[in-house]
Chain A
Amino acid sequence: MTDQLTALDRATARRFVDEHIAPFADAWDRAGAVPEEALTRIGEAGLWAPFLPPRLGGSGTDMVTLGAIHEEVGRGCSSVRSLLTVHTMLAWALRRWGSEAQRDRWGPELAAGRVLGAFCLSEPGAGSDTSGITTTARLDGGAWVVDGVKKWITGGQRADLFLVFARGPAATVALLVPRATPGVTVTPIDDMLGTRASMLAEVSFDGVRLGPDALLGPSGFASGMVLTGTLDLGRYSVAAGSVGIIQACLDACADYTSRRRVGGTPLGELPLIQAKVSDMVTDVRAARLLLAEAGRLKDAGDEATLMATWVAKYFASTAAARHASEAVQIHGANGCGTGYPVARYYRDAKVMEIIEGSNEIQRTTIAGEAYRRQVP
């Protein structure tokens, strides 16, 4: 009765990750790419954009479940989770802000993963300060013309469709730019510290001409909301991925410390080691609950989800970085080598503290909530 797609949940995602992602993550990390075959499999499993409605090829997955799926993927491979994150951001923005025609054009392609999406906001000269972007989008006889350079674009080497944020006539606008458009140039960025297989690129736009239907969402004051909403989904996915990293650290450490002995005693029996592992157990539960709360609020359409997501991402990413560092410590020299996955978790976790709003931006925004009642 139930088809495979509607049955998508944490358990199916976990099985998929254990079979098709986790065993290969270290090799992909070293190769600096996720192979095509794996990307295809993710599509076959219906994981690219399951939250899209069935009419657009999705399975109408709720946000709590989506968080659980991204957590499971993040447990296996942060590079794949990063690709999923930016694809999710584009697909979500399309569902939320796209016209009927845009949804029909791109929805089924995105749901199936035949078209992969990327998110283009950061530039060589502007990251945290999004108002500092210099890429422009001007109207020329009904057509949009885009000029500028976007940097650190996750999946940029592979993506087919870019969601580009640019300075428009009145405010920041969001445009859908197919990679094949003349004037789009993709330059790979290799050898990153973490999420090394997420195929980053610098993407430049040189007099790129697009039809009026390239504009996603409103062009006036509310266009800033497209960015706010899209980043919210990205943050949610990175929070989920960070929960996955903590879980992966815990699994690796519980396994290693049960087997590794010092002076005849398993590491796991040493109080100092137990202290570290117990903090992993506690933080992974706390982070998962914060994520689920943000997800429930999203499913209810409750505006409180925005702050709940900031809090979940801040907690989960900082906890992931802390525990990944301890996971390497617990593994000793083995933690620094290639025989265990914890070195990868450590490098990937650091990235979580920078993307989708760095730690400092998280704290500034969360503090803003604390002082809101005192304004003005």
Chain B
Amino acid sequence: MTTHATATTAETITGFITGRFPRAEIDPAKDIFSLGYINSLFAMELVMFIEKTFELTIPNEELSIDNFRTVEAMTALVDRLRPAVTTG
């Protein structure tokens, strides 16, 4: 995984969150649950968004709160689950 790809993953996830909550100030280390409005509907949307966008399935054992707390954690999760991409 190249740094470029990782940066894109983080930007994509941040874009999804701020698309939903434009007034939220999100940096990669921000605990999104501390924002106070993450309900089960948004949590499910977030998981579906990640699975669809990055073409992966998040197994039950990876569905822990720590993997979704920050954009950084979600990016690391995506990098872990995405089949190794061979870049030229």
A-to-B contact residues, CB < 8 Å? 97, 99, 217-218, 220-222, 224-225, 227-229, 232, 300-307, 365, 368, 372-376
Q: List 16 A-B contacts (CB under 8 A).
A: A218-B61, A218-B63, A220-B65, A222-B65, A225-B43, A225-B63, A301-B52, A302-B48, A303-B48, A303-B49, A305-B48, A365-B41, A375-B24, A375-B37, A376-B35, A376-B37
Asked whether B36 lies within 8 Å of A376 as measured between CB atoms, the reply is yes
Asked whether A374 lies within 8 Å of B60 as measured between CB atoms, the reply is no
Additional A-B contact list (20), CB under 8 Å, known A222-B47, A302-B48 = A97-B60, A217-B60, A218-B60, A218-B64, A220-B63, A221-B63, A221-B65, A228-B40, A300-B52, A301-B52, A303-B45, A306-B48, A307-B41, A368-B41, A372-B20, A372-B21, A373-B22, A373-B23, A375-B23, A376-B35
Q: Which of B52-87 contact A (CB under 8 A)?
A: 52, 60-61, 63-65, 68
Name the distance in Å between B23's Cβ and chain A's nearest Cβ: 6
Interface residues on chain B, size class = 20 to 34
Q: A303-B52, A374-B23 are in contact. Are A225 and B65 (CB under 8 A)?
A: no
Give the residue name and chain of the A residue nearest to B36 (CB).
A376
Q: A97-B60, A218-B61, A376-B36 are in contact. Are A225 and B44 (CB under 8 A)?
A: yes
Name the distance in Å between A47's Cβ and chain B's nearest Cβ: 27
Name the distance in Å between B29's Cβ and chain A's nearest Cβ: 19
Q: CA A224 – CA B41 in complex, angstroms?
A: 9
Q: CA A224 – CA B35 in complex, angstroms?
A: 18
Convert B16-31 into 0s and 1s, putting 1 for each residue whose CB lies closer than 8 angstroms to a CB of A.
Answer: 0000111110000000
Partner of A225, one of B20, B21, B37, B40: B40
Name the residue in B41, B43, B49, B64 with the highest tally of chain A Cβ atoms < 10 Å from its Cβ: B41
**B residues in contact with A374, CB < 8 Å:** 23
Asked whether B64 lies within 8 Å of A222 as measured between CB atoms, the reply is yes
Give the residue name and chain of the B residue nearest to A304 (CB).
B45
Give the residue name and chain of the B residue nearest to A229 (CB).
B44
Partner of B45, one of A300, A306, A368: A306
Asked whether A375 lies within 8 Å of B21 as measured between CB atoms, the reply is yes
Asked whether A222 lies within 8 Å of B45 as measured between CB atoms, the reply is no
Asked whether B23 lies within 8 Å of A224 as measured between CB atoms, the reply is no
Is B32 located at the chain interface by the 8 A CB criterion? no
Asked whether A302 lies within 8 Å of B52 as measured between CB atoms, the reply is yes
Name the distance in Å between A306's Cβ and chain B's nearest Cβ: 6
**B residues in contact with A305, CB < 8 Å:** 48
Give the residue name and chain of the A residue nearest to B55 (CB).
A301
Q: CA A189 – CA B44 in complex, angstroms?
A: 33
Partner of A224, one of B22, B40, B51, B60: B40
Q: CA A218 – CA B67 in complex, angstroms?
A: 13
Q: CA A224 – CA B51 in complex, angstroms?
A: 17
Q: CA A375 – CA B19 in complex, angstroms?
A: 12
Asked whether A224 lies within 8 Å of B43 as measured between CB atoms, the reply is yes
Q: CA A374 – CA B49 in complex, angstroms?
A: 21
Name the distance in Å between B44's Cβ and chain A's nearest Cβ: 4
Q: CA A303 – CA B65 in complex, angstroms?
A: 19
Name the residue in B21, B47, B60 with the highest tally of chain A Cβ atoms < 10 Å from its Cβ: B60
Name the distance in Å between A7's Cβ and chain B's nearest Cβ: 29
**B residues in contact with A301, CB < 8 Å:** 48, 51-52
